[in-house]
Structure 1
Amino acid sequence: MQQNLNYGYPQIFWVDGCAEASTSCPSAPPVAPFPPPVPDRRKKPGKNKERRGFDFLVIYLLLLLAFAGMGLSMFRIFHLEKELAELRESASAEHIPPALEKLIGQKESMKKEERKAAHLTGSPSQQGLPLEWEPISGHAYTSDIQYRDRGLVINETGLYFVYSNVLFRGNVCDNQVLTHIVYKRNPSSPGSYVLMEDKGINYCTGHRTWARKSNLGALFSLRKMDSVHVNVSKIALVNFEESKTFFGLFKL
């Protein structure tokens, strides 16, 4: 059966609902406005030039400061090398520069001021107690410590090491008690104060020559104007050779 293909397509019509004036139509939605223009954030040429000029100025100042520091360091090194060369020349010529000589002199004077010591040796000329001593001859000396009235006078309060050595000897042994005492005095305090004491008994036998050594030494806190002295029980039994009997002190 043959089908008829000659048929027409259906017609399409657009219908406007608001064609009639009496019909109310909704208003069209508002149209969004265009976005505001983006501001031009590019820097102006004038400001860029000012910024660059300021940066160059800072860099220039930093470089200038660095070069100045290098120059000062080089000058200082040159000056030190010059002083070292002068010292070498002075040493080779066995001559001490005045400035260095003055410095050495000051150090020596300081050492002398700080050295408070005395070493006294036995004196054969005795006239009673306390014992008399030799302050100058032989090994004896005094440095910033005064020997007066058979004793050593302290001129500065401090800690001192005090020592005394006495050699007793005799031809007959009678075993008398041998006493060796170191004591101090002070004008502001009455009496005396024993610092060290040694007593010897049974030091010999028979009727033979004998000898006994007594040695004392210790640290003491001494005041200004203290005077330190030495006593013995038998002056006639003391050997006053400077290497056998001596007395001294020094400040720590």
Structure 2
Amino acid sequence: MQPQQGRAAPGARAAPGPAGFGRRKDEPSRQVRPVPLPPVQQNLNYYPQIFWVDGCADAGAPCPTAAPAAPCPAPVPERGRKPRNGSGGERRSAGFLVMFLLILVAFTGVGLSIFKIFHLEKEVDELRESASAEHIPPASQRLTGQRKEVRRAAHVTGNPAQQDLPLEWEPTSGHAYTSGIQYHNRGLLVSEPGLYFVYSKVLFRGSACDSQLLSHVVYKRNPASPGSLVLMEDKATNFCTGQRMWARNSYLGALFKLRKMDSLHVNVSKIALVNFEESKTFFGLFKL
């Protein structure tokens, strides 16, 4: 019976196991010799070939030394990712938004300042008008000690709601006004002595002519003197003819030196004949 092929000859060194089992990395490489398989069975089953690892192809030849394994390359550090274009666009949009808000705040502040200045100018104008109406000296005059003299004058107009004498007047509405002169008890009260021009106009009007007397009188009173003193007077007779409507104007005006607390009044002969329109019947004075 022949010896099986592939078995080691007597005296020969037994071959080590397959590569990688029981061998160190630094051992020399060994050649692999094929081992014949048993004859093929009738069932056609095949077996894989088994190889024995030998140190060298020739037992007498020296085995070459294995080359040292190459060292693994050092890991390459990951490069920093570049910023995306989207994030840059978002930063620019945020910057534009902040700039727009700052400009909007600046324009808002300027608008509020202009509105405040306009409002202050309007208030100053109103204060000036009220000061001139009430004859209050402005701040500049108070600081310098100068005071503008108040213009003392009065102009009152006819009042249709008449009941008895002396005549009653309208001191505020329409063309009427008072400045430094007080309208009191149907008369004009003088608060400062001086030279005054006094005037009065009355329009008489009737539907039938008769022989009655028309009179128009301006007089004054003073608490320091008893009674009254006539300053001006106008009387008229035979001022109409025939049985028809008529009208007559009576005007009085003169310069008088008046004292403090003098009170001036107007009297007429008959109230029913007076036309009390403000442009036809009025009374007034002013200081020179």
TM-score if structure 2 supplies the norm length? 0.50
Runs of 4 or more above 6 Å deviation: 104-107
Match of 1:172 in 2: 208
Map 1:65-80 onto structure 2 (within 5 A). none
Runs of at least 5 residues in structure 2 that lack an aligned partner in the other structure: 1-120, 125-137
Partner SS for 2:272: helix
1:187 matched to 2:223? The reply is yes
Structure 1 position 158 matched with structure 2 position 158: no
Query: Structure 1 residues 175, 193: CA separation in 2 closer, same or farther (over 3 Å shift)?
Result: same
Question: Within 1, Cα distance between the matches of 2:239 and 2:173?
Answer: 32
Gaps of 5+ in 1: 1-93
For 1:185 and 1:227, how far apart are their aligned partners in 2?
5
Q: Indicate the RMSD between aligned Cα atoms, in angstroms.
A: 2.3
More helix by share: 1
What residue is the counterpart of 1:233 in the other structure? Answer: 269
Larger radius of gyration: 2
The Cα of 1:127 is off from its aligned counterpart by: 1.6
Matches within 5 A, 1:1-252: 102-103=139-140, 110-111=147-148, 113-252=149-288
Aligned length: 153
Q: CA 1:106–1:175 in 2, change beyond 3 Å: closer, same or farther?
A: farther
SS at match of 1:236: helix
- C-alpha distance in structure 1 between counterparts of 2:213 and 2:140, whole Å: 56
CA distance in 2: counterparts of 1:154 and 1:239, whole angstroms: 27
Paired AA for residue 159 in structure 1: L
Q: Which deviations, in whole Å up to 9, do the C-alpha atoms of 1:105-162 show, x marking residues without a partner?
A: 889x944x42000000000001200000000000000001000000000001100000
Alpha-carbon distance between aligned partners in 1 of 2:175 and 2:187, rounded to the nearest angstrom: 17
Instruction: Identify which of structures 1 and 2 has the higher relative contact order when contacts are C-alpha pairs closer than 8 Å and 6+ apart.
Output: 1
Distance across 2 between alignment mates of 1:215 and 1:106: 46
Cα-to-partner distance string for 1:158-206 (whole Å, 9 max, x where unaligned): 0000000000000000031100000000011100000000001111101
Q: Distance in 2 between matches of 1:106 and 1:132?
A: 43
Distance 1:120 1:199 in 2: 22
**Identity between Structure 1 and Structure 2 (%):** 72
